Amino acid sequence: MEKSLFDTFQIGNTTLNNRFVRSATWEGMCGQSGAVTPKLTEYCKALARGGVGLIISGYSYVREDGRQYPGTMGIYNDDLLPGLKQLTEAVHQEGGVIFCQLVHVGGQASSKVIGETPLAPSAIESFGNKELPREMTTKDISAIVACFGEAARRAKKAGFDGVQLHGAHGYLINQFLSPLCNQREDDYGGDASRRMRFLEEVYTTVRSAVGSDYPVSIKLTASDNIQGGFNLNEAVAVAQRLEVLGIDAIEVSSGTPTSGEMNPVRQKIDSPDQEAYNAEFASAIKHAVEIPVILVGGLRSCGVMQELLWRGDADLFALSRPLIREPKLPNLWQEDDNHISTCISCNGCFRPGLKEGGIYCVIDKIEEKNQNPQI
């Protein structure tokens, strides 16, 4: 029987209703302390009702100095558990599955936001952030590794169905992996295996905190898409090592804020040939490991995803911007697999997150006002 996008699928011991994933998306809907708000809970409920097989939360900071933007979800303190539990319970009531993405942004943080000098593997600019970070000591490294473990423990206690480590897009795990940011001369820097040591310690600590039967996944950069940066050959080796250690799934992305047109959130996706811009990377990793591989990046149509599935280039397909415009997109596809996402890849949806306390599709809002000028 041929594989279908609407097959049920297993990640670890968790069953998904289909192969569609809401890729982790900063929603900008949390309180100043990172606490979940009713607005975020309702937003995630709508995604679950819309039929997506797996929701991955917006990146949730494991320590207060690991936050990048206001409105980001926090998971650094047990005081945040009540709101986190309300979120997972609401998603489960709608029949949904939700993972919590864990992050420390390292040198991508701002002292204006966190109130202190950001930390990074080395005291050099982290992918375009002009603020010079402080090089982490081994004590700093151990402390943040422990925070990832505690955050994973909280995620499980709060009812999340699994966790995902953010190892892409220029954040701390990616900074350790990349020779552009990691110029250390100790056991955490140098060749690719040493640059992976931080990630390996984070993973093993998280695994110890949640147990062997709880899904742990990673969003892994396959390439910095910058000359001299972390590359695909290194990413394949990292993926293979993580598989040996017991990770349950890998979401494949690429790019950093300074990767130009090859950044993580590309624009001008208006035809099938522009879709799935990370497919080559996902295919390389998929053919090197046995565990599930999730492809993210510019997916807009069932036809493209179905072809990639049949070719064996990926197992699951993650979307972000299309689900901001059409939260019911998976249900729409089940009714008509010829439907093309109406997302125009303008990236305008993220501006309201900073200015208005929550992302939404600005094109929808404009069209709504044009149809009803009194709004």
Domains and CATH numbers, the chain: 9-371 (3.20.20.70)
The confidence score (pLDDT) of residue 375 equals 54
Q: What is the mean pLDDT of residues 249-256?
A: 98
List pLDDT tens digits, range 23-68.
999 999 999 999 999 999 999 999 999 999 999 999 999 999 999 9
Alpha helices in 18-137 (DSSP H): 38-49, 81-93, 111-114
Q: pTM for this one?
A: 0.96
Q: Count other Cβ atoms within 10 Å, centred on residue 306.
A: 17
Distinct helix (H) and strand (E) counts, the chain: 14, 13
**How many of the other CB atoms lie within 10 Å of CB of 108?**
28
The Cα 134–Cα 206 span in angstroms is: 25
Q: What is the pLDDT of residue 372?
A: 67
Instruction: Indicate which residues carry an active-site annotation.
Output: 171
- Rounded to an integer, the average pLDDT of 163-170 is 98
Say yes or no to pLDDT of 261 above 70: yes
Q: What is the DSSP string of 135-168?
A: EPPHHHHHHHHHHHHHHHHHHHHTT-SEEEEEE-
Does the pLDDT of residue 106 top 90, yes or no?
yes
User: What's the mean pLDDT in 280-284?
Assistant: 98
CA–CA separation, 81 and 7 (whole Å) = 33
Overall residue count recorded for the chain in this entry: 375
Please give the pLDDT value at position 354: 86
pLDDT for the residue numbered 366: 79
pLDDT at residue 365 in the model: 80
- Supply angle C-alpha 357, 167, 302, rounded to 5: 75
